[in-house]
Structure 1
Amino acid sequence: MLAATVARFSPDSPLDGLEVGQRPEPEEREHWSTVDVQAATLNHHDLWSLRGVGLRAEQLPMVLGTDAAGVAPDGSRVLVHGVIGADGHGVGPRERRTLLSEKYPGTLAERVAVPTANLVPLPDELSFAEAACLPTAWLTAYRMLFGAGGLTPGDRVLVQGAGGGVATAAIALGAAAGLEVVATSRSAAKRARALELGAAHAVEPGERLPARVDAVVESVGQATWAHSVRSVRPGGTIVVCGATSGDAPPAELTRVFFNEIRVQGVTMGSRDDLAALVRFCARTGLRPVIDSEVPLARVADGLARLEAGEQTGKIVVLP
């Protein structure tokens, strides 16, 4: 089958470590199912893997990808939950949590094997491409807003770095749920797009906000951390899911403890969270923002666009 793999680590130029070619079919395992992938999407996790973060040399070549929607062996439409080992189904209760492409081959392939319990039914209202956007970025944003962030309609949230997958999802989900969303971006075009998605305000990074927010969706890291700490209200929450600009500079602990700010990390969400997100989208008509689509054979083009930060929304890969 055709698949995109990490063939070698390339910390400074991640695409140099990418290979697209034929790989063996997924291994048959008890309590696992092989899904015919109809759509997958790209994440910064793929670029980190190509740089060598989270993988060992002896694991190579490793198939990339954490998101997929497709067809199960029984012919049903399914969405893949890419967290393996969270509840033990299909791997045993003592296996530590990993994402697809960290221990088990990922979704940037014609077929992917996952524990059968990780399959979420996909309603007809969502296309395969739309659904494939949900399991990493949209699921993470959903949990950041309504789980870790504890936000409810009428609350204010700051979303740093409008344009990325998680940030775009957080803007759309927050607006649909009645939150007052403030988004930041260096790009005037991305600020305008954030307003189109439902943000109440879109400002440049570091700009003073109209009012302090109840929570911050932080996925940028070093470039925005100080602004996040200064923008959240006393007793508010900064929810962190990544650091695309690098690890945070000085943590501003004086502000954190004096204002009793809570910092909460999030990595994706549970299978139940994903099922709830699917229902939310199906019932409200909310759909993920798709930046572009690329065939699997030209996945390097999509990864280059992601690395350059040119996308708004998700880049879909079609096997």
Structure 2
Amino acid sequence: MNVTFKQLEAFYFSVTLASFSAAATKLHTTQSAMSKRINELEQALGVQLVHRMPKGLVPTHAGSRLLILAQDAMRLRERIAAEVGQADEVAGTYRIGVTELIALTWLTELIRELKRRYPALQVEPVVDAGMNLFDDLEANKIDLAILPGTFWGDAYKTVEVGRVEDLWMASPRLALPDRPLKPEEFADYPVLEQSVGSAKNTYYGPWRREHGFRFRKVFLTNSLTVLRELTIEGLGISQLALDYFAPDIERGLLRVVRSEPMPPPLVYSAVFRNDAFTRALDVIAEVSQRVCDFRRGPHDLAAAAS
């Protein structure tokens, strides 16, 4: 009997994801390679391990017992690499999803720092709305997502990487009273928001409902850059990251709109599966904590000024 780690890995992810294709996406290989490894594993053990059902792959009785052992084997491999092998060696290609605000601020620094510290580690960034990124994470199209939120379910590890004050803002030309607005008063003014799919809206939704915020007229856009322009033009109130928009406030293009109560800080987290079985994702989360900075860079400031 010759059982390989690749066979056990293919079996574990094919069963837990209930699909050869999903496992192939997770392991960056092909569906046929997944099926071949499972067949080889069944031949080596002399038992059937999975049932091909209309709703996906289901483990047999023998497969259920092997699933626990396969999980232990992958954990053991990571422990061996950490305690006996080259502990500092982090390698491979990983797809990471980030929101537009991260892409505009500290994504470049994250890639630069990872490349400096771990030359064998390659990252492929994907920029999208937060909820779209989480959908991609569930579908194994990306390996890690950095987005607003503090808990994404027991199947995921969530590591806080940073916080930003996300405050109501508007153009000084928008006629607003010079006092804190009550939640119900927001219904008297247009509100500008990022489109459906924004994890920020999901994050603040319960808080807004708890305190009675009501928006009668809402304009949506999927671009933070467009949202900035519309807010500066005085078309409505937006909730924006203070660190990033501080230069616009200093130039008199925007002002903070006070409310009772004020919004709590927006928490950004690195999210990835508990069963990733790789130190690389922990490394990406840790470096993200180090470089997280939502202030606008000098190139952005020059572009905004022009």
Do they superpose with TM above 0.5? Answer: no
Larger RCO of the pair (alpha carbons < 8 Å, separation 6+): 2
Larger helix fraction of residues: 2
TM-score (norm 1): 0.26
Please tell me whether Structure 1 or Structure 2 has the larger radius of gyration of its CA atoms.
Answer: 2
Q: TM-score, normalised by structure 2?
A: 0.27
